[in-house]
């Protein structure tokens, strides 16, 4: 329940879905009144975010408002309420995906206001805000003072990828060497098992997308083990950005397997508390990734006109 409440405070979309769940639990019918105080107490938040969530539900025809009386349920069948909740989540995620896609194609500038995005996508301000919050959780967008949002650099070109690896070469080995680094043995064991499973896959059948997921998990694990809060926070945000915006590239099977072996070697050193060795292994791992990226064939071609590999 505590985790649900924390998520509700961070995301009005999650709060709107929580309100629908409460309505289902209470077997509420069309026309039933939704008292602000009741839902504020049940959700563990103040009335202000409850009102915002009510407005979102009103925009999607799940609630309606009567002047001086408050909000009332517009639909009653449980199936309808469940479908409404799913549609609400899908709508916001779709808008976030559209914004991310336009950002990747350079159709959106570095700084945007909520009102400008609402006009561009013919969407309500609330919908745009929820989509931006989804993107902010992945480190793609950051709210600025006032009503503007800044989009982070995208990992969508060879130059951006090279800068990302250069940045990680500076910080990731130091995150391991910072005093207090502590390995979570349980998570390390789970990661080890998953990577070993990947290595049993037949040659040529490891997908780049699948590798990228486990690669990001491994590097996030390294960041989480660091006792330096600034290194940890910065690296986790960067890896979320990698996961959200890094495009699939064709990587030779041998390099995917070599990377997995390097991950396992780093894990071995960490579990033996050989942090100096693990940091050196991380340097070598990132240098190899940087020098063997498949960018040479694309050098000199602007990223927006490249054709995907067959």
Of residues 139 and 281, more confidently modeled: 281
- Kindly report the average pLDDT of the chain as a whole number: 81
Average pLDDT score over residue span 3-25: 63
- Using a 10 angstrom Cβ sphere, with 0-12 exposed, 13-18 middle and 19 or more buried, the burial of residue 91 is middle
Give the pLDDT score at 86.
63
Q: How confident is the model at residue 278 (pLDDT cuts 50, 70, 90)?
A: very high
Give the pLDDT score at 90.
55
How far is it, in rounded angstroms, from Cα 252 to Cα 298? 16
Indicate the fold that domain 158-298 takes in CATH: 1.20.120
Max Cα separation, the chain?
68
Of residues 84 and 162, more confidently modeled: 162
Q: How confident is the model at residue 87 (pLDDT cuts 50, 70, 90)?
A: low
Q: Is the pLDDT of residue 50 over 70?
A: yes
Give the pLDDT score at 225.
95
Give the pLDDT score at 19.
87
Q: Which tens digit of pLDDT belongs to each residue from 95-125? A: 887 888 788 777 888 999 999 998 998 887 8
Give the pLDDT score at 308.
38
Q: Which helix (H) or strand (E) holds 34?
A: strand 33-34
Q: How confident is the model at residue 224 (pLDDT cuts 50, 70, 90)?
A: very high
Of residues 221 and 12, more confidently modeled: 221
Average pLDDT score over residue span 233-242: 86
Rounded-to-10 torsion of CA 157, 160, 161, 162:
120
Which 3 state secondary structure label does DSSP give 113? strand
pTM over 0.75: no
The 10 Å Cβ neighbour count of residue 171 is 16
Average pLDDT score over residue span 44-69: 86
The 10 Å Cβ neighbour count of residue 306 is 13
Give the pLDDT score at 301.
33
Q: Is the pLDDT of residue 11 over 70?
A: no
Place of tokens 């059948």: 205
Q: 128 with 249: CB under 8 angstroms?
A: no
Of residues 178 and 81, more confidently modeled: 178
Ordered by start, the domain boundaries in the chain are: 1-152, 158-298
Q: Which tens digit of pLDDT belongs to each residue from 154-170? A: 887 788 889 999 999 99
Indicate the fold that domain 1-152 takes in CATH: Arc Repressor Mutant, subunit A (1.10.10)
Residue 17 CA, distance from chain mean position:
19
Of residues 304 and 185, more confidently modeled: 185
* Cα–Cα distances in angstroms (integers) from residue 15 to residues 48, 80, 85, 118, 158, in the given order: 12, 18, 11, 21, 40
Number of H helices, E strands in the chain: 13, 6
Q: How confident is the model at residue 77 (pLDDT cuts 50, 70, 90)?
A: low
Q: Which tens digit of pLDDT belongs to each residue from 60-70? A: 788 999 988 89
Q: 102 with 108: CB under 8 angstroms?
A: yes
Q: Is the pLDDT of residue 2 over 70?
A: no
Q: What percent of the chain has pLDDT over 90?
A: 34
How far is it, in rounded angstroms, from Cα 149 to Cα 204? 42
Q: Which helix (H) or strand (E) holds 26?
A: none
Q: Is the pLDDT of residue 306 over 50?
A: no
Q: Is the pLDDT of residue 173 over 90?
A: yes
Give the pLDDT score at 291.
83
């Amino acid at each position: 329940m505590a985790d649900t409440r924390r998520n509700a405070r961070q995301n009005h979309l999650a709060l709107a879905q929580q309100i629908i769940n409460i309505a289902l639990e209470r077997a509420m019918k069309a026309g039933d009144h939704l008292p602000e105080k009741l839902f504020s107490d049940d959700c563990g938040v103040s009335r202000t975010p409850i009102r915002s969530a009510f407005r979102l539900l009103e925009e999607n025809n799940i609630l309606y408002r009567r002047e001086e009386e408050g909000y009332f349920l517009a639909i009653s069948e449980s199936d309808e309420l469940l479908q409404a909740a799913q549609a609400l989540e899908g709508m916001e995620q779709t808008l976030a995906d559209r914004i991310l896609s336009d950002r990747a194609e350079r159709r959106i500038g570095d700084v945007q206001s909520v009102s400008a995005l609402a006009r561009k996508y013919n969407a309500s301000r609330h919908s745009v805000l929820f989509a931006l919050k989804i993107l902010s959780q992945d480190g793609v967008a950051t709210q600025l003072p006032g009503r503007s949002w800044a989009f982070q650099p995208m990992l969508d070109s060879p130059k951006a990828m090279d800068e990302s690896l250069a940045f990680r070469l500076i910080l990731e080995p130091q995150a391991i060497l910072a005093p207090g680094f502590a390995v979570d043995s349980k998570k390390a064991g789970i990661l080890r098992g998953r990577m070993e499973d990947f290595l049993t896959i037949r040659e040529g059948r490891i997908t780049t997308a699948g590798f990228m997921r486990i690669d990001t998990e491994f590097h996030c694990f390294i960041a989480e083990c660091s006792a330096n809060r600034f290194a940890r926070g910065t690296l986790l945000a960067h890896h979320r950005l990698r996961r959200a915006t890094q495009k699939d590239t064709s990587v030779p099977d041998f390099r995917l397997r070599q990377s997995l072996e390097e991950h396992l070697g780093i894990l071995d050193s960490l579990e033996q508390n050989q942090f100096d060795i693990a940091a050196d292994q991380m340097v070598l791992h990132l240098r190899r990734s940087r020098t063997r990226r498949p960018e040479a064939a694309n050098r000199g071609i602007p990223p927006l006109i490249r054709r995907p590999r067959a």
